[in-house]
Amino acid sequence: MRRPLLLGLLLIASPAAAEVKSASANAFVIEQRIATPLDPTSLYRRFTDIGRWWDKEHTYSGNSTNLSLDLKAGGCFCERLPNGGGIEHMRVIYADPGKRLVMSGALGPLLYEAVAGVMDVQVKPGGQGSELVLTYKAAGFANGGADRMAPLVDGVLAGQIARLKASADRP
């Protein structure tokens, strides 16, 4: 990230349902929820095509097309850097295509802290299409307090999920 992901962030209004479920000095739980006209399999595919909808402002390389997501246990949500380097944002620990994806890792500046995180993405039939529920739980030593970081992480994820929804709502 050109500037650490969460610092200096302008929070983005989102049509997604976003919520900091809980936060303490050492942990937080965030939930994001969207409904789209896509069927569950298509929404799961859209989510996993992460470079298509992820905001380039929240990448280290400045280019979302450098993001990749390998959909198997042990697979990487990674980013290529222009100088030949790279970043592992998260590791896939559970993949059930069309239904659920669970990854572990510390996003953004949490990468530099002693923090472990788990992102659980569930896709379910709902309404005229499907619903995606993303839950991100992070715990450990977060310099400055996880409770103060939680709303910032929530804002970034809300912006990302709003971009996913906009992508999913387009024909």
pLDDT value for 12: 34
Which segments in the chain show pLDDT lower than 70? 1-17, 171
pLDDT value for 16: 56
> In CATH terms, is domain 21-169 a member of 3.30.56.10?
no
pLDDT value for 108: 87
> Residue 62's closest CA among 13, 119, 5, 137?
5
CA angle 80, 105, 156 (to 5 degrees): 80
Taking the CA of residue 22 as centre, how many other CA atoms within 13 Å lie in the half-sphere pointing to its CB?
6
pLDDT value for 7: 32
pLDDT value for 101: 98
pLDDT value for 17: 64
Which value, in Å, is the radius of gyration of the alpha carbons in the chain? 15
Can you give the residue ranges of every domain in the chain? 21-169
Q: Are 77 and 89 in contact (CB under 8 A)?
A: yes
pLDDT value for 10: 30
